[in-house]
Structure 1
């Protein structure tokens, strides 16, 4: 029996199939990233003293990734890798110097527009894209307002957030200062520098190596430089760097930190309601301000646990996650949304406030923390995600995965092919998350400190061992697993021979095994290291000192300089306590 393709019933059936296929909804994506959150801070990762029910809910309804690794233990390079799926050295976002992150809004370095972000992938695929919260990938490059590094230039159609990061200096306690934490005798050092400069110029003049006019010029120039540094870094650091933008409009200077998390949550809820109404697929990224200092929360979250302001901030962060989950539920979008929560790096072990209260996170059994190079406490992130179409509730992934994996995973979800010219270091996580694969797609991972590789991780295709070869270790203070404030990459201890750890049996990196008993493993890892180095194409270093320095001509100002002050009218009076 044959079917007449012109039969009306057949035509109706074909038409219904076409309509059904064309009406299939593209999956939505929500990516949330905390700042300096330790893996031991979250309930589903073992913490029993701080309540994180909303983050825990994602783990219960989706998956928990126990070995999800950052490409760096500091925020600027980590977030660059997260956005692009590439090691930060490939984009020029890795630096060896002391300042391995952007410290000024008016610096010229940042994520190059030649890089492709996951927001650009989604935008090309017809998605609405938005970023709320922290960016920390630069702002302008050559002139004020060129916005070369702005989120709007990197695929995000809507941006409501801050271009730098939250800083101790941005709070209400005038004793708090990042630079005073790093350089406790900053004022003395400035005076000393002035005295030395004056003596040197005077000696040059007295020996007739310079004339009177040149001597005066040198003294005035040197004094101006020192005054400018002191003015920008100490006196006006908060005013010049605590900035809140809505797209390219500066709407608040300085930011009001106590309401920041609530405002980002409100913006997120509003954005989801718009997408429910217009039915457009979306990629929403939220960079929460917590847990970076300065820690400031709403009064409703004060004294909620025994961990002081750090614990208060974490519970407010979890509340913000809950606001987003609630909006998803109310909009009937949850079943078709990939939602992911992580941190940019581990907890900051050295962080203290002016009274000595601990304001850094807890990294559980893992060694080290933020800015410690390659030890797992600084690069193993508390990560949970939910995607009902493919991930079974209660899934636990103990295999090595990476923040860089988000990029190719999104490409899979939105069914977008990656450009062949892109050297993507991340791997699609969906085979692992869906249970189709049981072993990580990563054979090797390379753990950087700045632009230097401090360790290599190897996952053989068989067995359960996950090997880590540590080439360099942090130069800790005597008797401690901490540095003064941030560990230096240059001062790291060279391990000769390198330390070999089986991370499956020794996740705390406390019992190195004899490498001579596993020569084939060490040989494979060193060969992979050389192959990886050969794949690195030199690019402009966006975090070298000339690009990190404060440049007055790039300084945004709300109102008339030097007052530079305004507040966001949209939320004015909404969160009065």
Structure 2
């Protein structure tokens, strides 16, 4: 018998050394966390959310392998405050950043405060490597103390300002705190390296570099934000389908390609193709089963504000810069093999500010800031719906040319309040398109939400609820 025992032990040892990498969790119990954010992608721009014209096979597959959310909201209806809410766990009633750069009372940009705790700060405390690749957009004006490395990230490659991120052939990115000059790039002529491709390749390199460490990668892509431009190979699949042509302005601030529809579809499909490369890389490295991936968009779409060829918002009203559902309800897909049930769907009401506490719970820690507005989504993700805490309400405010506008959602009811206008009350359970204003019929519910609106925000000298000067509006019109 001892002879056979020794033989079994030898066989087991050989099997251990020759097993696939995915059988070994290199990071122990702490999962890698990847948060992927598209820019101005509509709720209906993915096949898994009803899109029929644009092909997104990899994100659709991610949805079948994970959980898709139908009631998830961005931090804001424009990029800068939305990203701030994601990183800090605050809603727009309590965040320090509540608007894009020039839309402050003074006209000067407001960035994250040096003392603000971000999700990267939290994860770094427990051994995570942290990186942001793509669009940072929170280092406007005087950038001292406001680069990603000042807010908990170990590594950064991308645009530091959101205006620079309007151009896909911009000639200066940043690596950490230093300029990275792309000498061959000319944004006006759209020559050189397509920056989206740079970000994807860097993400592939990053996960390979950090495969032996728990890591948090915030991949902030710029597709499909204007300007609309993409290399020809991504447009070719859509060029002979008989689609109507949409002529684009090619000489203004945005150096768009001449035809919009094939370009828009090509941009989204290119993003989907490249995310497929990332998903495959994780599998090849054997870390797919210990990596949770989030995918979303920073706000609603802008491209389809004129026509509705792609039906980017499905049945939702409005788009970017609106506080109707089309401006703030966004796609949200989460995949975690072996932990999140494949093909699951959630109607739980959630928002960007839930990400920080969610990431903390996944890492086994409690957020150090007890005053954030976010609630961890881990119970919902792991199928423990009975344990999932719910928000009393969700709150947004927006203050550009048509502002100020406030919105609040409590269960199925939503109030949209404009400074100069009548209150709009909608029941989203029966009217997702916000077509029937029930303010007159449901006075009791209206008064309840109006009263709640008064307590849902803290005062902020940089973002008072007042109209902005005309001169300031002109500055912020681009």
Shorter-chain TM-score category? 0.7 to 0.9
Shift in Å at residue 456 of structure 1? 1.4
Q: Quick check: 1:113–1:148 contact (8 Å CA) kept in 2?
A: yes
Q: Per-residue CA shift, 1:153-200, capped at 9, x if unaligned?
A: 11111001001236697368xxxxxxxxxxxxxxxxxxxxxxxxxxxx
1:39-438 map, 5 Å: 39-95=43-99, 99=103, 109-138=110-139, 141=142, 147-165=144-162, 170=167, 243-252=172-181, 259-276=194-211, 279-305=212-238, 306=243, 307-349=261-303, 362-372=312-322, 374-420=323-369, 422-437=370-385
Q: Which residue of 2 aligns with 1:471?
A: 417
Q: Quick check: 2:25–2:290 contact (8 Å CA) kept in 1?
A: no
Q: Quick check: 2:40–2:298 contact (8 Å CA) kept in 1?
A: yes
Q: Quick check: 1:76–1:101 contact (8 Å CA) kept in 2?
A: no
Q: Quick check: 2:101–2:110 contact (8 Å CA) kept in 1?
A: no
Shift in Å at residue 96 of structure 1? 9.2
Shift in Å at residue 512 of structure 1? 2.6
- Go from structure 1 to structure 2 and tell me whether the alpha carbon gap of 1:286 and 1:526 turns closer, same or farther (over 3 Å shift): same
Looking at structure 2, the residues matched to 312 and 385 of structure 1 have their Cα atoms a distance apart, in angstroms, of 24
Shift in Å at residue 249 of structure 1? 1.4
Indicate whether 1:494 and 2:421 are aligned: yes
Q: Which residue of 2 aligns with 1:458?
A: 410
Describe the SS at the equivalent of 2:268. Answer: helix
Q: Per-residue CA shift, 1:80-126, capped at 9, x if unaligned?
A: 111111024534312499747999xxx76322222111111111111
Two-structure CA RMSD over aligned residues (Å): 3.5
Q: Quick check: 1:71–1:87 contact (8 Å CA) kept in 2?
A: yes
Larger radius of gyration: 1
Looking at structure 2, the residues matched to 257 and 429 of structure 1 have their Cα atoms a distance apart, in angstroms, of 41
Q: Which residue of 2 aligns with 1:225?
A: none
Give the number of the structure whose residues are more often helix, by fraction.
Answer: 1
- Go from structure 1 to structure 2 and tell me whether the alpha carbon gap of 1:517 and 1:162 turns closer, same or farther (over 3 Å shift): closer
Aligned pairs, how many? 418
Looking at structure 2, the residues matched to 435 and 507 of structure 1 have their Cα atoms a distance apart, in angstroms, of 26
Q: Which residue of 2 aligns with 1:574?
A: none
- Go from structure 1 to structure 2 and tell me whether the alpha carbon gap of 1:48 and 1:28 turns closer, same or farther (over 3 Å shift): same
- Go from structure 1 to structure 2 and tell me whether the alpha carbon gap of 1:88 and 1:499 turns closer, same or farther (over 3 Å shift): closer
- Go from structure 1 to structure 2 and tell me whether the alpha carbon gap of 1:95 and 1:318 turns closer, same or farther (over 3 Å shift): closer
Looking at structure 1, the residues matched to 229 and 110 of structure 2 have their Cα atoms a distance apart, in angstroms, of 29
Looking at structure 2, the residues matched to 155 and 60 of structure 1 have their Cα atoms a distance apart, in angstroms, of 33
Looking at structure 2, the residues matched to 123 and 547 of structure 1 have their Cα atoms a distance apart, in angstroms, of 39
Looking at structure 2, the residues matched to 273 and 368 of structure 1 have their Cα atoms a distance apart, in angstroms, of 40
Describe the SS at the equivalent of 2:456. Answer: helix
Q: Quick check: 1:41–1:47 contact (8 Å CA) kept in 2?
A: yes
- Go from structure 1 to structure 2 and tell me whether the alpha carbon gap of 1:90 and 1:316 turns closer, same or farther (over 3 Å shift): same
Looking at structure 1, the residues matched to 408 and 131 of structure 2 have their Cα atoms a distance apart, in angstroms, of 35
Q: Which residue of 2 aligns with 1:512?
A: 437
Q: Quick check: 1:38–1:382 contact (8 Å CA) kept in 2?
A: yes
Shift in Å at residue 261 of structure 1? 1.7
Q: Which residue of 2 aligns with 1:208?
A: none
Looking at structure 2, the residues matched to 73 and 102 of structure 1 have their Cα atoms a distance apart, in angstroms, of 21
Shift in Å at residue 442 of structure 1? 1.2
- Go from structure 1 to structure 2 and tell me whether the alpha carbon gap of 1:23 and 1:84 turns closer, same or farther (over 3 Å shift): closer
Shift in Å at residue 288 of structure 1? 0.6
Looking at structure 2, the residues matched to 101 and 358 of structure 1 have their Cα atoms a distance apart, in angstroms, of 35
Describe the SS at the equivalent of 1:500. Answer: strand
Indicate whether 1:27 and 2:24 are aligned: no
Q: TM-score, normalised by structure 1?
A: 0.66
- Go from structure 1 to structure 2 and tell me whether the alpha carbon gap of 1:308 and 1:440 turns closer, same or farther (over 3 Å shift): farther
Q: TM-score, normalised by structure 2?
A: 0.78
Q: Quick check: 1:456–1:468 contact (8 Å CA) kept in 2?
A: yes
Q: Quick check: 2:80–2:100 contact (8 Å CA) kept in 1?
A: no
Q: Quick check: 1:139–1:148 contact (8 Å CA) kept in 2?
A: no
Q: Quick check: 1:71–1:448 contact (8 Å CA) kept in 2?
A: no
Looking at structure 2, the residues matched to 360 and 250 of structure 1 have their Cα atoms a distance apart, in angstroms, of 38
Looking at structure 2, the residues matched to 257 and 123 of structure 1 have their Cα atoms a distance apart, in angstroms, of 35
Task: Point out the more displaced range, 77-86 or 505-514.
Answer: 505-514
Shift in Å at residue 548 of structure 1? 12
- Go from structure 1 to structure 2 and tell me whether the alpha carbon gap of 1:350 and 1:243 turns closer, same or farther (over 3 Å shift): farther
Describe the SS at the equivalent of 2:70. Answer: strand
- Go from structure 1 to structure 2 and tell me whether the alpha carbon gap of 1:49 and 1:95 turns closer, same or farther (over 3 Å shift): closer
Indicate whether 1:503 and 2:428 are aligned: yes
- Go from structure 1 to structure 2 and tell me whether the alpha carbon gap of 1:40 and 1:493 turns closer, same or farther (over 3 Å shift): farther
